[in-house]
A and B are shown apart, each in its own frame.
Chain A
Amino acid sequence: MKFTWFNLMPWPYLPDDFRQQHRSVWVDIPNTLYDPRKGHHVYHTYLDQLEYAETLGFDGIGCNEHHQNGYGLMPSPNIIAASLARRTSRAAICVIGNSIAGYNPPIRVAEEFAMLDVISGGRLIAGFPVGTPMDTNFCYGQIPALTRDKYREAHDLIMRAWASDEPFAFDGKYNQLRWVNCWPKPIQQPHPPIYIPGGGSIETWDFCLDHDYNYSYLSFFGYLRGKSLLDGYWERVASRGKDESPYRAAFAQIICVADTDAEAERLYAEHCLYFFNRCLHVFPPFADPPGYRTMATIKYGALAQLTLARQKILENLTWKQLVDERFVIAGSPQTVRQQLEECIKGLRIGHLFCLFHNGDMPDWKTRHSSKLFAEQVMPHLRDLWPEWKHDERWWMHPMDDRLRPEERRPGAEKSGAEWAR
């Protein structure tokens, strides 16, 4: 198993009556609720936590892209990843990822991801989400019906830019570039591992399988609800004749560890409820513009998750419900071990994106939970997939002789005044 410590970076100062006063945490949330001076401390606290996660032995540290919202403060995940690349040297840097349909031209993503891979010594995991409709359509103005087409073209351009050793012309429908010539190119060849974060769209499964990319199911509604969806994915894997390596799939899970189950509630309940009640408070139409989901996906059953119904779920949540329905895996190390094992085996996943910081959780609690997990849970779950132990197809392949930039300080003596040849 690979464990990635993920920080969504929510704004922790949403008012108590946020839900009553505002229709959405995304798109049209008043930006007067943001305070840049507090934001300075927030960013550094969150970045410190990601660096701390590496020292705890997590395999990866993760960030992602969202716009105009109080749910996640990373409009540019590459800026976050760049700072992590300079302050860490062991963990994979998982950027899950850049919403490539919104970049103009998307060659920018090929360049920046290559920069990150080079600076980090080959530690980049490259995610290519379509982006939430809030981000891609309402904030970045992409036409919903054409978003997936534009996404595919952006993907093709980026992959070709990484693969090609010579300049080429790209005559796309959305991007016409006479000279494509990616400088720099990534260390990892033929390319960094590609992760495709998806909700429930079946087209995404086929896209992942066509290219052997990792499929990352990112939901906050836990593994009990995620199971039917992942079952569908694995059926698709089987019917396509692909091997069943659990590393083909990743799942995100909110995790809270304390000494006892009761202590977990005392420490973390309010912060998880903050997350569900405020950070997920999205005006339903922003989450489902016409054309973002294909009719095939809507008919596949996603109507059952009509956003209105989902909003209802969020309105009256209690800690007991969060825990009983496994939206949150919380409790003593033993409880968390047992439930996570059920989650990992039930979903058949090789990668877990672990969410320890939730809502307005203070730094010390976040670290406490992460440390207990690293020491008392993670070691017991490492070898759940012994038959796939050596499957590294969906993990980083860094340089052996990479630098440790976090140990180099300005003014420190440099070894060798010449460029190595």
Chain B
Amino acid sequence: MKARLVETKKGTRCRVLEAGSGAPLVFLHSAGGLLRDNPFLERLAQRYHVFAPEWPGYGESTGDELLEDMLDFALHGWDLVDALGLRGPHLLGHSMGGMIAAEMACLAPREVGKLVLAAPAGLWLDEHPIPDIFAMLPYQLAEALFADPAAGQQLLTGGADLSDLEALKEFYLVNQRRLTMAGKILFPIPNRRLSKRLYRLTAEVLVVWGSADRLIVPVYAAAWAAQLPAARVTTIEAAGHMLPYEQPDLFARVVGEFLG
């Protein structure tokens, strides 16, 4: 995929990965950001014109201080769509990105093609409290995020070995910056009352969940279904919270079948 820097009207500068052709599809990443390899995006680029912006606070993207709350985040999503010159793109959001995509769609329901929410954050069930990602040691992240933590650890760090102190420091710094940003909408509880606004959605919605998600457990898929009675809900086996990365082929196929 090729990368370029896009400047929004607000003044953020975001690195955007881009590939493929066809209907525009904007992918919004999770609190962990884009990983080094994102094979599911390449699969999707075989059918769609895929754009994957990195949020301020992630990678080379800057303007962290310009975004402070949920409204800022959601409007920034639309600012990016505008800066990319897109009309009515499909939105595909993963985890935190799903929360942002859903907010974007609530704000401007008629600007969205179709909406795909992959293990989205944004709802909270008292009887199923989501583990606190802000209170985890680096090695605990993979356990929470992947059905297969050992393989997940490799994906998460781009192969770096966290028992090496320098690698750990590097990972720590980058991760602190990312989660500083994510904390603005996820800390201390990842619920910014999205549920009050979901009635506004008009686009077709797919909710897709990993059956082995230990971070936001699959019970939440049912909670989304209850909020969005018209939504299609699908589960992918042998995938945890990082389902796009753990089952890239299956994930891309499920998304493609829905988008058409």
**A residues lining the B interface (CB < 8 Å):** 27, 137-138, 141, 143-146, 283-286, 288-291, 293, 295, 298-299, 303, 306, 308
Contacts and interface: CB of A to CB of B under 8 A. Distances in A.
A146 B180 CA distance: 9
Given A283-B135, A286-B135, A137 B187 contact: yes
B176 A146 contact: no
B135 A144 contact: no
Nearest to B136: A285
B34 interface: no
Interface string B139-177: 000000000000000000000000000000100110111
Contacts of A289: 134-135, 179, 183, 187
A251 B247 CA distance: 55
A306 B172 CA distance: 10
B135 A146 contact: no
B60 to A, nearest CB: 15
13 contacts: A138-B135, A138-B188, A143-B184, A144-B180, A144-B187, A283-B135, A285-B136, A290-B134, A290-B177, A290-B182, A291-B180, A295-B176, A298-B176
A293 B180 CA distance: 9
A6 B40 CA distance: 58
Contact of B180 (A27, A145, A299, A303): A145
Given A137-B187, A146-B68, A303-B169, A285 B134 contact: yes
B184 A290 contact: no
A135 to B, nearest CB: 13
B176 A145 contact: no
Contacts of A293: 176
Contact of B173 (A283, A284, A298): A298
Contacts of A291: 176, 179-181, 183, 187
B178 interface: yes
B169 A290 contact: no
Contact of B172 (A137, A141, A146, A303): A303
Contacts of A145: 68, 180-181, 183-184
Of A283, A291, A306, most B-chain CB atoms within 10 Å: A291
Given A285-B137, A290-B178, A290-B183, 17 more contacts: A27-B135, A137-B187, A141-B188, A144-B183, A146-B68, A285-B134, A285-B135, A289-B179, A290-B134, A290-B175, A290-B179, A291-B176, A291-B180, A293-B176, A295-B176, A295-B180, A303-B169
B137 A290 contact: no
Contacts of B68: 145-146
A143 B169 contact: no
Interface residues of B, number: 21
A306 B169 contact: yes
Contacts of A298: 173, 176
**Shortest 5 CB-CB distances between A and B: which pairs?**
A290-B179, A291-B180, A290-B180, A290-B176, A285-B135
B137 A146 contact: no
B215 to A, nearest CB: 15
A290 B58 CA distance: 13
Contacts of A295: 173, 176-177, 180
Nearest to B181: A145
A303 B68 CA distance: 26
A145 B56 CA distance: 13
Contacts of B179: 289-291
A285 B184 CA distance: 17
A147 B26 CA distance: 32
Nearest to B68: A146
Contact of A143 (B176, B178, B183): B183
Nearest to B64: A145
Contacts of A290: 134, 175-180, 182-183
Of A144, A145, A284, A290, most B-chain CB atoms within 10 Å: A290
Contacts of B181: 145, 291
A181 B182 CA distance: 37
Nearest to A286: B135
Nearest to B182: A290
Contacts of A303: 169, 172-173
B96 to A, nearest CB: 13
Of B135, B181, B182, most A-chain CB atoms within 10 Å: B135
Contacts of B178: 290
A291 B179 CA distance: 7
Nearest to B140: A285
Contacts of B169: 303, 306
B165 to A, nearest CB: 9
B195 to A, nearest CB: 19
Contacts of A138: 135, 188
A137 B188 contact: yes
B129 to A, nearest CB: 12
